[in-house]
Amino acid sequence: MFSTLIHFISTSQLSALQSNLKSEERQYFLSLLNDLEDKILHMPKPYETTEQGIDAPVSLHYFKGSSDWYIVEKDSSEEQLQAFGYACLNGDKINAEMGYINIEELIKCDVELDLYWEPTALRNVIDKKYVTLEEAPDEAYESADFI
């Protein structure tokens, strides 16, 4: 059961999910894991999104602290030694880059797979704004309801 997921989820995250399968929320987590496995099985493989460029779908999102890894194409081998995607380490969008990401390394470092990630175009991920309150325009304050 869920043999594909062991190549994409850290041991600790998988253990937590397995314990939830024994809880009263079993059906919810079973559905969640089935959907996730289906999403992974149907992900693009190397070079399948080349023509799409920045509009290629980002199927998976990993995170730890303020670092994010967005996976566009999975490895064609079962082990998932590398995947292609976009990495933004420590929130440093200026030095974020596209390239090969070692899924196995992410898992060993206990990086968490976002179970609720909805696939979106790579363009949306790259264009995402990391705004601080100091950078927010005055209109943002005017439209907010402060108590």
The pLDDT value given to residue 60:
97
Cα distances from 75 to residues 101, 103, 130, in angstroms, run: 10, 9, 30
The pLDDT value given to residue 132:
45
Q: What is the pLDDT along the chain (147 residues), one digit of tens a residue?
A: 678 889 999 999 999 999 999 999 999 999 999 999 999 999 999 999 999 999 999 999 999 999 999 999 998 887 767 899 999 999 888 889 999 999 999 999 999 999 999 999 999 998 875 444 445 455 444 444 433
The pLDDT value given to residue 141:
41
CB 88 within 8 A of CB 67: yes
* 112 token code pair: 């968490």
